[in-house]
Every structure is written in C-alpha cells, then in structure tokens.
A and B are shown apart, each in its own frame.
Chain A
C-alpha cells in the first residue's frame, strides 16, 4: 500500500511540474494575442471612465452653482437660471416604468408563443417580424408617434380613458395626444423586440427533457411551461427585462418627439413631460449660457449614474437569485 501512495505522490509532482511549465511557456503568437486582448479590454474601461470624467468636467460649474438642490427641486427654468432635475428624472423613470409594464407581458407572450407553441414556420415569421421592429430607426418611430399615435391618443384613447377611468389621477386633464402616455407606448414598442428575442433564446435553451418530464406527468401546455420552462429561466428573463429597461431609460429621439417637452411633475399620463434624455436633446442646441450647458451636462451625468445603478442593481438581484438556486 505505501508503494501506491508514493507512486501517486510522484505522479502528482510530475503533473504539477508539467502544468507549471505549461503555464509559463507561452508561445510567441499567443503572447501577442494576449496583449491584443489586454489592450482591447482596457480600452472599454477607459471609454467608460473618460465619458464619466468628461461629463463631470462639463457639469462642474452647474454642480457648483446649484449644489444638491439640483437633485430634489422641481423647477427647471433655463431663463431664470434655476435648474432642478427632479421633473426630468421623474419623466425618465415614469415613462420607462410604464413601458416595462406594457411591454413585459407582451414580450414574454411573444417569446413563449414562438418557442413553445407556434409551428416552426410561423415561429420564424413572427420572430423575424418582431426583430424588424428593432431595425426601425428611432426617429422614424418618433414620426409615427407624431402623425399616427398622438392623434389617435388625442381623439380616441385619452377621451375614453378620461370618461371611464377619470376618477384615477392618472387619467385626468385635457387630452393632448403628445405626452407621457405617448412616450411610454412608443418606448414599449421599441423595447419589445429586445425583451422578446432574448427571452425567446432563454426559453429555447431550456433542455427538452425538462419539458418531457412535465408532459409525461400529464401537464397541459400551460402547466408544462410553468413547471419546466419558466421555473428554469426566470433569472434569465429578469436579465432580458433589465436590458429592455436600459434601452428605455436612455432612448432619446422618439421620446423627445412625443413626450411634449414640459418639465413638470404630473401624475396624469395625458400631460406633457420631459425626460433626462429629451431635455438634453431639446435644449443643447439652444443653450446660450455656460451654466445652462453645464446643467445639461449634469443631467447627462445623472442619466449615466441612473442607468448604471439600475443595471448593476438588477444584475445583483439576478446574481443573488441564481446563487439561491432559483434556476440554472
């Protein structure tokens, strides 16, 4: 017996030595490639840092001028040089949140239909069509919003909501057409391809033997989806939703064209609003005073921070759920 042990020890030593020299002895093309990858990887970090630094420098005068009031006051008045970012933060968060509420059920429905129910040809057609939505430029969405969506909202949807659901604070006030509701709807359409195509891939990645386990136990389609598909993939689905949210938070052109551009906080979805992205796009060209420009840069910095926080927060949730053994 001791012989075997020493033999094993010897082998282990040999293997370790082999491994060590293997690790050190990098061939020349590999070394070049390694350096190339290192440079590329650090370039990404450098970009991120330089954007942050640029915004900070540009925003410095406004940071100095308004201080913390910037974050919690709700008057945005470039003429009087008063800058409170609360209305635009509110506009961004509300429109993105509404867009998610509208888009998530729709997107997951599309993804489940395509991955679980539709025959292959129809599935391919539907996926293709939905993905084409992602190819439409933002400014075209904006035009559609102005010429089709907003008039429809003004003449049909908003009067209807106002008449029958006017007791809720969200559906009060005159129907403008352009406003928070229009922006949220456009955002919902724009993020649907993102969420649904990622969710579809996640559903498809669920091994078919999980599905068969449910079917063999006498599950209906829906029960099979719930038992095998959703329970295996919801952490991934959450990731898909976060990517959609990231897109909604930063979306600029289409939102700017239909949100109404008034920096007010109003619970009513009919009233015009302003988002962080849209206020920058609207006012940057016309800003004359240095402090106004700096305030816009500060909004940019804030948007940067908000998207960063939302994304990393969501990623943290996903990570925590995953390690809890929620899904694999």
Chain B
C-alpha cells in the first residue's frame, strides 16, 4: 500500500458558515480504488468536509473554505480554478435521492454528459446502459427508460442517482449518507454496489451507520467538533482505536 499515490490529498482544509468554524484544519488522503468512511456524531463537520471536496460547500450563502485539496495533481482551490469544471469530474450522491424532476430515467443518467456537451445519441445510449448496469439498476428499468425518474421507488431512485454520477466516469465519488433514508434491503443493495464501484472509482462516504462503515470501507476517519480525531485502517479503528474519544464513540457512549 505504501507506494500507492493518493488520488485525493487534503492539506489544512478549513470551512466556515459565516463566523462558524465548521471544519478545522483537516489533513487526510484518499487512496485510489478504495472506500473511505467518514464517521462521527451529527454536526461534527463530516458532511461539510466532503462538500468541500467538490467545492459545493461554497454555494451556500455566507459559506467559505480554504486550504489545499489536490485531486489527480490539481489543486481544486488553486487560483483561477472553475468550480463548475471540478464538479464535472467529481461525482456526488446525496442523503436524499434527488433525480431531476420531470426528466426521464434516461435523461437523468445522460444529464451529466449533456452538460459536458455530448449529444451523440448512440454514445449517450451506450453510457446510460453502462452506468445503469454499474449501478445495478439496468434490469429493473430497461423497459421503462422513458418514464420519469421520480416514478421509481426510493432505493431505485438512489441507485439512479449513483448511475447519474457514474455516467461521467468520475475518478472520485462522494457519498453523503446515501442509505440513511432507505430500508435495509435497499441499503444492502447499495452497499454491495459500493464494493463493486471500487473497481472503477474511489469512494468517499459519510455515514452514521458504524456497521456500514465497518462492512464496506478500507479506511475510516473519525470526526468530532470539526476536527479529525483519528484516521486509519478500518479494522484498526474499530478494534484497537488509538484515541479515547474514538473508542467512546464506536462503543456507543456518545453520539
């Protein structure tokens, strides 16, 4: 593992909501083709942190961020970097499934490609199929690609959102509690999917579900009050945590 270059390197990342310092000097890296879980109690800054990794955080009025985030050797907070281009390269899946209203399943998956200016029908059809297969949704929707995305069930909608993110082949996918609104069966499907996603991309996932973090991730970071308390191999963090706070959190003493 030692000679693998990280795909995302974060150095001294700070984020604010107005005067509130929500993320405090985080330094961490993410290795390619792995799943990294970010855990911690509500309000610990982990969601804000991953929203800084595609510069979505700054879209909230009054929010700001500073530091270095290097994705594939480019500092996305560098001078003159266009956040729109950054977001085209980094996928994101949200807590609540949010397919575009009024767009069909097909159009939803093709949306990212269309934004990138790709219009060729045959290419779009190819990519839509591959992305839906990648999100383990193709068999369920192949006969109704032109129905609205919102007509699917909650779990299907979330997988549709994953397919939408996959379509542009992002090197990194951010997931902000992707299963917290889903039933156990849909959750299991998506966890299985995340394990298979590792082959094509790198997954950074925020989760409240500690078992989920233990099941799917190679490495785990524990956040508390805007700081990163501990970061290491998942087995180590969950079995022999180095910090007292981590141990208290994973054994359920707070949070």
Secondary structure call for the B interface: mixed
> A212-B59, A227-B103, A325-B150 are known contacts. Are A219 and B115 too (CB-CB below 8 A)?
yes
Complex contact B88–A327 (CB within 8 A) = no
Complex contact A231–B164 (CB within 8 A) = no
Give the chain A neighbours of B85 by CB distance below 8 A. Answer: 218
Give the chain B neighbours of A207 by CB distance below 8 A. Answer: 98
A228 to chain B, nearest CB (A): 6
Most B CB within 10 A of own CB, among A120, A212, A214, A328:
A212
A297 to chain B, nearest CB (A): 45
Complex contact B115–A223 (CB within 8 A) = yes
Q: B98: which of A119, A213, A326 is its contact (CB, 8 Å)? A: A213
Categorize the interface residue count of chain A: 20 to 34
A159 to chain B, nearest CB (A): 45
Say yes or no: is B148 at the interface (Cβ < 8 Å to chain A): yes
CB contact list, B128-178 vs A, under 8 A: 147-148, 150-151, 161, 164-165, 168
Say yes or no: is B80 at the interface (Cβ < 8 Å to chain A): no
CA distance A216 to B150 in the complex (A): 19
Q: Mark A30-57, 1 if CB is under 8 A from B, else 0.
A: 0000000000000000000000000000
Complex contact A213–B112 (CB within 8 A) = no
Complex contact B61–A119 (CB within 8 A) = yes
Say yes or no: is B21 at the interface (Cβ < 8 Å to chain A): no
> A325-B148, A325-B150 are known contacts. Are A216 and B102 too (CB-CB below 8 A)?
no
Q: Which A residues contact B (CB, under 8 angstroms)?
A: 119-120, 207, 209-210, 212-220, 223, 227-228, 231-232, 234, 325-328
CA distance A298 to B125 in the complex (A): 60
Complex contact B100–A210 (CB within 8 A) = yes
Say yes or no: is B234 at the interface (Cβ < 8 Å to chain A): no
Complex contact B102–A218 (CB within 8 A) = no
Complex contact B92–A214 (CB within 8 A) = no
Give the chain B neighbours of A212 by CB distance below 8 A. Answer: 56, 59, 92, 94, 98
A227's closest neighbor in chain B, by CB? B100
Give the chain B neighbours of A223 by CB distance below 8 A. Answer: 115
Say yes or no: is B200 at the interface (Cβ < 8 Å to chain A): no
Q: B151: which of A218, A232, A325, A326 is its contact (CB, 8 Å)? A: A325
Complex contact A217–B101 (CB within 8 A) = no
Q: B101: which of A216, A220, A328 is its contact (CB, 8 Å)? A: A328
> A120-B61, A213-B161, A217-B87 are known contacts. Are A327 and B54 too (CB-CB below 8 A)?
no
19 residue pairs bridging A and B, Cβ less than 8 Å apart: A207-B98, A209-B94, A209-B96, A210-B101, A212-B56, A214-B111, A215-B56, A215-B59, A215-B87, A216-B94, A217-B112, A217-B164, A218-B86, A219-B84, A227-B103, A228-B101, A325-B102, A327-B101, A328-B101
CA distance A207 to B168 in the complex (A): 24
B102's closest neighbor in chain A, by CB? A231
A325's closest neighbor in chain B, by CB? B148
> A209-B94, A325-B150, A328-B150 are known contacts. Are A217 and B102 too (CB-CB below 8 A)?
no
Say yes or no: is B240 at the interface (Cβ < 8 Å to chain A): no
Most B CB within 10 A of own CB, among A120, A219, A326, A328:
A219
Complex contact A232–B101 (CB within 8 A) = yes
B152 to chain A, nearest CB (A): 12
Give the chain A neighbours of B20 by CB distance below 8 A. Answer: none
Kindly list 19 other residue pairs between chains A and B, CB separation below 8 angstroms, not including A213-B100, A217-B168. A120-B61, A210-B101, A212-B59, A212-B92, A213-B99, A215-B56, A215-B59, A216-B54, A217-B112, A218-B85, A218-B116, A218-B168, A231-B102, A232-B102, A234-B102, A325-B147, A326-B102, A327-B101, A328-B101
Give the chain B neighbours of A228 by CB distance below 8 A. Answer: 100-101
Complex contact B101–A231 (CB within 8 A) = yes
> A212-B56, A231-B102, A232-B102 are known contacts. Are A217 and B148 too (CB-CB below 8 A)?
no
A196 to chain B, nearest CB (A): 21
CB contact list, B95-129 vs A, under 8 A: 95-96, 98-103, 111-112, 115-116
Give the chain A neighbours of B168 by CB distance below 8 A. Answer: 217-218
B201 to chain A, nearest CB (A): 15
Give the chain A neighbours of B95 by CB distance below 8 A. Answer: 209
Q: Which A-B residue pairs are the 7 nearest by beta carbons? A: A218-B88, A231-B102, A216-B92, A232-B101, A218-B87, A213-B98, A209-B98
CA distance A218 to B90 in the complex (A): 9
Complex contact B115–A216 (CB within 8 A) = no
Give the chain A neighbours of B56 by CB distance below 8 A. Answer: 212, 215-216
CA distance A327 to B88 in the complex (A): 26
A231's closest neighbor in chain B, by CB? B102
